[in-house]
A and B are shown apart, each in its own frame.
Chain A
Amino acid sequence: MAEVRLEGVSKRFGRTQAIAELDLRVQDGEFLVLLGPTGAGKTTTLRLVAGLEGPDAGRVWMGGRDITAAPPSTRDVAFVFQQYSLYPHLSVYDNLAFPLRSPARRVPEDQIRARVGEIARLLHLEGKLDSRATQLSGGQMQRVGIGRALVRRPAIYLMDEPLSSLDAKLRAEMRVELKRIQRELGATILYVTHDQTEAMTMASRIGVLDGGRLVQLGSPREIYQDPVNIHVATRLGSPSVNLVPRALFPAVRVPEETVTIGVRTEHVRIRKSANGAAVGRVRWVEHLGDRSHLHVTVADTDVITLADPHADLAVGDEVAIEMLSPLFFDARGERVRRS
């Protein structure tokens, strides 16, 4: 395992600036997740580290060595793609052993056996080693796909949305699995996704990408609690943070430049108003089971709050709203901090 560093890396495809002056350091043993929508530059970043693309500017370092110009085959990386492509005519064992049998590596068979056995145990595939790849379920196939990367001990694992083709239940299981495996192996992983839950639950640190730029880098907690701008604030949290015009709550004291107030659903406190102190009316109660989302209409804006499912509030009730820990943003969407 080793540290990987991108330094001022830019990449352009025709007229599209895919990556712009990206500085990023993936620490040894870290699970770093790049989060962003389609076109943010996530996959390009992975491909630059793998050597499948060359940067227009900047340098790529791996374990202190400049690999900017090194061909992909000489880079010590393992890539897991979104679409696992297994060899259908081979058994699970042979699929897992395949990367170790490459002529470039020449690993003795007894070592291969030990390594495949260990990875099969980690991925709970021990009972399936003799099965053909085609006899597996989707989740098992994806685990074999991941296992084929894990049998090697590269400096870094590069993973491109490896869970996105799985159904919700399996995805939830694999999130826990993948994090456990990463911890047990002490692996360094650079993982890209557009799924905020994957980023929040697995990452040591999250890098939020927008339009080829790294907007913020930090632990899931830091990114969630202390976003640098509106883009980052809306990337994490479900439902997304409430963004309301400053004028909607004239009584709230805000820094002067504030144009938009952001407040997370769990920081909106509401109570039934008795004496005409109402600022909003409950439009809809959305049940989640463990909690409810109350959609409250204030003037023409919908404010979503998190409430106890058994709270005594119903559609049509007039309510007063209190905001705890509001976030303030200026006209450009940048965070304004209280001085």
Chain B
Amino acid sequence: MAEIRVENLRKSFGEFLAVRGSTFTVPDGDFFCLLGPSGCGKTTTLRMIAGLELPTSGRILLGGEDVTFKQASQRDIAFVFQLFALYPHMNVRANISYPLKSQGTPREEVRQRVEEAARILRITHLLDRSVSGLSSGDRQRVALGRAIVRKPLAFMLDEPLGALDAEFRELMCGELRALHDRLKATTVYVTHDQLEAMSMADTIALMNDGLLEQLGPPQEIYDRPASVFVADFVGSPPMNFIPFRGRLTPGDRSVRIGDAAVAVPEAREGTPEADLLLGARPEHVQLSAGSELRASVVDAEYLGTTQIVTVTTAQGATLKARISSEVPVSPGEHTGLTFRPEKLSVFEKRSGRVLRSALHQEAARG
């Protein structure tokens, strides 16, 4: 197992800059998610780490060794693709054995390692079955088996659950994470699904337009998004943004929206008068009849323990609040809004950057 280090990695395809200079470290044993919308450069980054693409510039180190220009086959990395390509004419055992056999591993060792991999994935009972009759989940397990049987330094997974339906994806997320906990192998996982990344990752690298927007543990990214892009991409429903015009001086503890003063974490950075956005996660929005920030209820969606209430403010902004499903709410109802002050973020509208505050201590990325 090994640490992966990526330095100033760039990749252009003709005129198109797919990756514009990423630097990050995947610690040994980490479950690292490259997250972002399609076209953000996440898959290209993964393919460069695996050696399936050569970078335009920059370096890649695997376990301290510079592998930037080494071929994929010399990198000791196992790659699992979105569409698990199994050999249809071979049975499960032959599919899992294949990487070892092609390396010339002795037969007895192949048998032992295939059975070990099958045990870890709980597919021992399928070893002698044909792959053509398998369910999509079992096919994915076989594809994973083919990756883990090699005992590589690191695993690269490219949207391995993309083809599965929602319920099954949730189950496989649990399995993948449990597998990671058993193998403790350095894993780089590419997905566009924020929930997959949030639920499985130790570290998330959120990419946008070829750039690394933010890097950190899931809860950190959720609680302290560095930009509007991050706040909008992570979380379901995403963060609410309330546009307002105003200025901030370091030490300020509130902002004015319409007629209402809204308490926010103490500002650590000022701004001259500008278009700003107040960012509030749905669970930090509360309905409160007495508040000066007026709104009317559009809809309430029951979700069991909680409900998502959609409201529009007097200024015309649409917000979603996540509140207890015990609170009776009906469409058309007039109400007021309050927020959990210590959880709010203020963003610059033009750049999308978060303004530093007691919540966002560290300098935000530009």
Contact = CB atoms under 8 A, between A and B. Distances in A.
Interface of A: 168, 172, 175-176, 179-180, 183, 195, 197, 200-202, 220-221, 224, 236-239, 264, 266, 283-284, 286-290, 292-293, 295, 306, 309
Given A176-B310, A306-B305, A290 B322 contact: yes
Interface string B159-174: 0000000100010001
Contacts of B282: 290
Nearest to B318: A176
Contacts of B325: 221
Contacts of A283: 178, 181
B304 A237 contact: yes
B229 interface: no
B301 interface: yes
A290 B235 contact: yes
A284 B299 contact: no
B235 A289 contact: yes
A306 B219 CA distance: 15
A180 B304 contact: no
A176 B218 contact: no
B303 A201 contact: yes
B304 A224 contact: yes
Contacts of B283: 290
23 contacts: A176-B310, A183-B331, A201-B301, A201-B302, A201-B303, A221-B302, A221-B325, A236-B304, A239-B170, A286-B174, A286-B199, A286-B200, A288-B195, A288-B198, A288-B199, A289-B198, A289-B219, A289-B234, A290-B282, A290-B283, A292-B219, A295-B174, A309-B223
B177 A176 contact: no
B298 interface: yes
Interface in B295-316: 298-299, 301-305, 308, 310
A200 B198 contact: no
Given A237-B304, A284-B181, A309-B223, 6 more contacts: A168-B236, A224-B302, A283-B178, A286-B200, A290-B235, A309-B222
Contact of A286 (B177, B298, B301): B177
A66 B80 CA distance: 57
B299 A176 contact: yes
Interface of B: 166, 170, 174, 177-178, 181, 195, 198-200, 218-219, 222-223, 234-237, 281-283, 298-299, 301-305, 308, 310, 322, 325, 331
B202 to A, nearest CB: 10
Contacts of A224: 302, 304
Contacts of B281: 289-290
Given A172-B237, A195-B166, A238-B170, A287 B303 contact: no
Most buried by B among A197, A220, A286: A286
A292 B222 CA distance: 12
Contacts of B322: 290
A287 B218 contact: yes
B219 A309 contact: yes
Nearest to A167: B192
A314 B310 CA distance: 34
A175 B166 contact: no
A329 to B, nearest CB: 19
B295 to A, nearest CB: 15
B87 to A, nearest CB: 28
Contacts of A168: 236
